[in-house]
Amino acid sequence: MSLRGATICGVGSYLPETVLTNADWERMVDTTDEWIIRHTGINERRLAADDQASSDLAIKAAQRALDDAGISPEQIGLIMLTTVTPDYFFPATACLVQDAIGAKNAGAMDMSSGCTGFIYAMAAGANFVRSGDYDYVLLISAEVLTRIADWTDRSTCVLFGDGAGAAVMGPCGRDEGLLSFALSSHGEYGDLLILPGGGSRLRLTSELIAQGQDCLAMQGPEIFKLAVRGIPRIAHEALDKAGLRPADVSAVIMHQANRRILDAAADRLDIDPKKVINTVSKYGNTSAASVPMCLDDTYRKGQLSPGDIVLFVGFGAGFTLGAAVVRWTLPPFTSA
Ligand code: ACO
């Protein structure tokens, strides 16, 4: 039994300035605003500038989370960055961020768990804090998904957006902060959501690039079914471990892939749909970044108070699932 708990003590996010609307997509592929809204609930998403990579977004989100936590970069012991769109295979994007923000005492590593990345990092980061190995762990999720999307494939390109979110985890009392988590992986479904080329399996050639093997490929309806079936299971597992019921939950911060998945999850979890936060309408699917971006949006609207039970849920490439239950400790956000 650890002597202390681990909590989120600062949150931040960064959104690229350019807004890409459904009307913009109507001009580029054979789609309509009406189809996109009816099938996904997405109205608009952000597009990174040509000179912005994931680390550029991550740096800004991290600085905002550090400001919010009121700690200096030197106090960070470890940076865990989750992304499916790193700047490079190596060095790790986390190392680029570590240098840029001046976290000179921190170790740094990237993790890849698809859209579930932030939940995996929260679970691991909390254990580093609870064990006493580090006082502060910086969690960052950053994505420039528009750079691996096939801009000619209407079934995927309209879904994705760019952005970054970050949170600082630090020590707290044993009965608050992260109370429980549940993680699972289903590698047999790995090919349903995949970036086939560019790794050690398939070296990219101009021929393979012409075939679109350098772009994300997704079998959307199959992922949809796995998500809707898996979310209640993983959420119940985490809630049971914390000794809580769905009725105890104040807010659900879930991976923002599709409004219909958010609605189905609320229904199957028997949680008031108003508690399931929706930011997919304005940011689209930002993969690993969607959970901390949604958290920051909710927090900065002053919608979270100490004692609230926040249920985090993620699902995505792998196929991975994750849920975490947090007794919130930060006071409602007010701008200075
Ligand atoms: N505009 C117009 N028509 C379209 C578009 C579009 N943008 N995209 C597809 N269609 C058409 C299809 O061609 C198809 O036409 P057909 O019936 O004539 O063949 C029809 O619309 C229905 O297509 P479906 O793929 O069955 O549409 P569905 O309602 O399933 O919605 C979607 C597709 C939005 C992708 C949905 O399946 C989904 O959200 N899946 C989950 C995605 C997800 O959660 N991903 C996980 C995380 S992402 C990550 O990890 C990076």
Listing DSSP states for 52-97 in one string gives: --HHHHHHHHHHHHHHHHT--GGG--EEEEE-SS-SSSSS-HHHHH
Beta bridge partners of 253: 312
Largest CA distance in the chain: 58
Among residues 282, 259, 291, the alpha carbon closest in space to that of 13 is found at 291
Measured in angstroms, how far is the CA atom of residue 153 from the centroid of ligand 1? 11
Q: What is the CATH number of the domain that holds 288?
A: 3.40.47.10
Among residues 136, 125, 15, 163, the alpha carbon closest in space to that of 73 is found at 136
Domain boundary among 147, 174, 201: 174
Measured in angstroms, how far is the CA atom of residue 39 from the centroid of ligand 1? 7
**146 and 9 in a common domain:** yes
**188 and 309 in a common domain:** yes
Per residue in 281-328, pLDDT (tens digit) is 999 999 999 999 999 999 999 999 999 999 999 999 999 999 999 999
**151 and 10 in a common domain:** yes
**239 and 207 in a common domain:** yes
Domain count, the chain: 2
Alpha-carbon distances, residue 209 vs 146, 164, 202, 248 (angstroms) = 16, 27, 11, 49
**Residue numbers of the domain that contains 25:** 5-174
Taking residues 234-263, what's their average pLDDT? 97
pTM over 0.75: yes
Please check whether residue 332 lies inside any domain of the structure. Answer: no
Please check whether residue 278 lies inside any domain of the structure. Answer: yes
- Residue 304 CA, distance from chain mean position: 18
- Please list every protein residue whose CB sits less than 6 Å from any atom of ligand 1: 31, 35-36, 39-40, 114-115, 154-155, 158, 193, 218, 220-221, 223-224, 227, 257-258, 261, 285, 287, 316-317
**187 and 110 in a common domain:** no
Quick check: helix, strand or coil at residue 222? helix
Supply the residue whose CA is at minimum distance from atom 41 of ligand 1: 224
**80 and 21 in a common domain:** yes
Taking residues 204-230, what's their average pLDDT? 95
